[in-house]
Amino acid sequence: MDILVINSGSSSIKYQLLNTETKEVLAVGLVERIGIDAGNIKHKAKINGEEKVKIIEQDIPNHEDAMKMVAELLTDKEVGVIHNPEEILAVGHRVVHGGESLVKTELINDDIIRKIEETIPLSPLHNPGHLAGIKVGMKIFSAAKHFAVLDTAFHQTMPPKAYRFAIPEKYYKEHHLRVYGFHGTSHRYVYETARDYLKKDDLKAITIHLGNGSSMSAVNSEGHCVDTSMGLTPLDGLMMGTRTGSIDASVVFYLGQVMGMDFEEIKTLFNKQSGMLGIAGSSDARDVTDMLEKGDANAQLCYDMYAYRIKKFIGSYTAVLNGVDALIFTAGLGEHDELMRSMACSELSYLGIEMDEEKNKSLNHAKQAVEIQSANSRVKILIIPTNEELQIAKEVYDLMQ
């Protein structure tokens, strides 16, 4: 079955048309600057084994116009892969935040739309864009069944001791303040891939998604997430490209009371000016690596801090799981940064974690699951390229049966 996967943001739409049987990407594209001057679309399709590309540059006033252009490209005579939009029978929509009411992939109806709308206060930057994409997608691909695939769903198996904050209960009951976790589609994909690759159904794993946004999850032998590093928002946990990660809440009081910063300034500081950017001056790990090789002290500190936090979570999640079978590295840095993987796994032999440095180097940029642990390591160390679009398509396919 061919399934269209849509990730609609406030001013962009990413899309892929995938065949769930062959796992082949038939078409992929990105619409940018919706509602902003100088909009553009880049569409790529595989036609008779040959990749064809079409780029359109024009103003795109709204999401409906953007989705119409996507449909036109998918059916285009030169770069199209279908004859008309009615050939699309299933669409999976990525939704970042499902709150506590949406805990699994759901067929979209008025009730599901209402529940996504109710989570907007928890995800004001993402969910409005998702809703816009859902509503126009259902209009343009009217013959299809549309499904919401939630980034938070994978983490809804966490117990209260992991997801509750130690604040009065009314803030949880009335305002839903708790740990939700994110990158759930990626964590689920690499965990299930590892379980199949290792042929171990009762796999206990720590999944490590390292990108501009980074998170980790502890997954028990039943395949349930029991803890995760991101919290109410994607700000918590690991140090990231521009985000602080975990930080003493009193820093907020100091910045406000002593330095006179307002909430918007603090939010911008923590989300967009901190992390690697704040420590080393760049949010791109490749730039920081170049600086490190030239002896830059801030770049060294940046890598030390980043790896140190990963190691702390490895230690705590090993305790939570009462032992671990596999560490799984994925996403941009997880798949492509040999130095970060090496530093994150160093001096963990007491936990049975030992990396083969030659494998770590030679198998960098892996295109499929690979093992990089030493022969003496009791714990498997894997690199698994993530594929969130394929995971979304798989979950939609399963519900279509």
What are the binding residues for Mg(2+)?
7, 388
The answer to whether the Cα torsion of 127, 133, 139, 141 is positive or negative is negative
| Secondary structure (3-state) at 133 | helix
Q: Which of 239, 330, 251 is nearest to 283 (CA)?
A: 239
Beta strand 145-150 pairing with 90-95: parallel
Active-site residue, selected from the candidate residues 59, 110, 151, 202: 151
In contact, 395 and 92? CB cutoff 8 Å: yes
Is 356 an annotated catalytic residue?
no
| Secondary structure (3-state) at 319 | helix
Binding site residues for substrate, as ranges? 94
Torsion of the alpha carbons at 344, 347, 350 and 353, rounded to the nearest 10: 40
Q: What is the DSSP string of 226-267?
A: EEES--SSTTSSS--SS---S--THHHHHHHHTT---HHHHH
| Secondary structure (3-state) at 1 | coil
What are the beta bridge partners of residue 16? 5, 28
In contact, 223 and 191? CB cutoff 8 Å: yes
Q: Which helix (H) or strand (E) holds 269?
A: helix 263-272
Binding site residues, as ranges? 7, 14, 94, 209-213, 284-286, 332-336, 388
CA 96 to each of CA 67, 123, 127, 218, 238: distance values in angstroms, whole numbers, following the listed order: 20, 8, 7, 20, 19
- Cβ-Cβ contacts under 8 Å for 308 (sequence gap 6 or more): none
Beta strand 205-210 pairing with 326-330: parallel
- Cβ-Cβ contacts under 8 Å for 275 (sequence gap 6 or more): 239, 240, 241, 242, 243, 244, 245, 283
What are the beta bridge partners of residue 3? 18
User: 10 Å Cβ neighbour count for 62?
Assistant: 12
- Which residue numbers are catalytic? 151
